[in-house]
Structure 1
Amino acid sequence: MRDYVMKNGNQALIREAIPADAQSIIDFYNVVGGETNFLSFGGNEFTRNPEEYETYIESVAAEENSIMLVATIDDTIISIATINSSQKARSKHNGTLGIVISQNYTGMGLGEKMMVELMDWARHNGITKRISLVTREDNHRAITLYKKLGFEVEGLIRNDTYINGVYYSTVVMGLLF
């Protein structure tokens, strides 16, 4: 667990997710899905059963090459950041990073802090040698942060997402250790 003081002076606690967080995580995803079109799901589209999600959180925690972090203020989740990795011998060195921040807390340095926490964890877990991520091609703010942290553009998936009658392309980025 780490405390992080954001640019607005609020203090957030960054810690690993636990099974008891399942319902709060589901609720968080359903709210933030409606705050931005940069996610792979919209508002109230994260339809997971809390008991099954508890099991998922337990399985992530049991994997040496996967992690789920939450940032909270007063026990309310304001960000979730993950690295999910295959357990197959040929690909377990590659993790996929995902990060979501509540719209109320963007621009406070929290995204960079969460990413740095994940990257430090990945560098030291003894397994991960590469992290990949995807983002929409027009998510310039996120792409700027990812490049600042050392990620490189590896490719483009054209017309990968369809929202309100418009197709968007997805940028694939990677970081090698």
Structure 2
Amino acid sequence: MEFRLIDGNEVIIKEATKEDAQHMIDFYNVVGGETDFLSFGKDEFNHEVEAYKEFLESTRLEQNSVILLAIIDDKIISIASINSSQKIRIKHVGTLGIVISEQFTGQGLGRRMMEQLIQWATSNGVTNKISLVTRADNSAAIELYEKLGFEKEGQILKDTLIDGVYYNTLVMGLLL
């Protein structure tokens, strides 16, 4: 799928493959240093390339999991995913994660990636709920999630510690 950001840049969204492993690891290690809203910091996405290739390949084979990449000029600018358990009792719930390069925030990319994931989840034949977690003070993300139909389900207190400060985590869900 292709579309244009607000600034006019053309973006391609594609499903991740094992060939993308090193670029994804590199991307995560950079964006980890751009915001404190992620569960990891700069250079903290410590994954061996071969193991990550296996993870990407196994994810591609799951009917209820997907990893999407947003790319401009062969460079990853966002990764968005729904990962789901294969256990019968909970395989209908997908956990959503999204990361956007700081320079491309505010361009409509987050909404577009989320819409793609929701559309995919609605049509995969397994998923009927999407869950996500975000820091409770991440107001811009929460506003987007609510516009897309997510509802607040609960809060985990003092779930994250950054530079000696504790932050709460908000749990949100979307029933499909």
Tell me the TM-score normalised to structure 2 length: 1.00
Matched residue type, 1:58 = E
Q: Secondary structure at the match of 1:29?
A: helix
Q: Secondary structure at the match of 2:119?
A: helix
Tell me, in whole angstroms, the C-alpha distance in 2 between the residues paired with 1:176 and 1:124.
13
Structure 2 spans left out of the alignment, 5+ residues: none
Structure 1 spans left out of the alignment, 5+ residues: none
Tell me, in whole angstroms, the C-alpha distance in 1 between the residues paired with 2:114 and 2:59.
17
Q: Secondary structure at the match of 2:130?
A: strand
Which residue does 2:155 correspond to in 1? 156
Residue 63 of structure 2 corresponds to residue 64 of structure 1 = yes
Matched residue type, 1:140 = S
TM-fit CA distance, 1:63: 0.1
TM-fit CA distance, 1:4: 1.5
Q: Secondary structure at the match of 1:77?
A: strand
Which residue does 1:113 correspond to in 2? 112
Tell me, in whole angstroms, the C-alpha distance in 2 between the residues paired with 1:23 and 1:75.
13
Which residue does 2:15 correspond to in 1? 16
TM-fit CA distance, 1:121: 0.2
Q: Percent identity, aligned pairs only?
A: 60
Which residue does 1:84 correspond to in 2? 83
Which residue does 1:147 correspond to in 2? 146
Residue 123 of structure 2 corresponds to residue 124 of structure 1 = yes
Which residue does 1:102 correspond to in 2? 101
Tell me, in whole angstroms, the C-alpha distance in 2 between the residues paired with 1:43 and 1:109.
24
TM-fit CA distance, 1:10: 0.2
Aligned length: 176
Which residue does 1:136 correspond to in 2? 135
- Deviation string for 1:49-108 (max 9, x for gaps)? 011101000011000000000000111000000000000110000000000000010000
Q: Which runs of 4+ in 1 moved over 3 A?
A: none
Q: Secondary structure at the match of 2:40?
A: coil
Tell me, in whole angstroms, the C-alpha distance in 1 between the residues paired with 2:138 and 2:117.
21
Matched residue type, 1:132 = S
Tell me the TM-score normalised to structure 1 length: 0.99
Tell me, in whole angstroms, the C-alpha distance in 1 between the residues paired with 2:102 and 2:113.
15
Q: Secondary structure at the match of 2:142?
A: helix
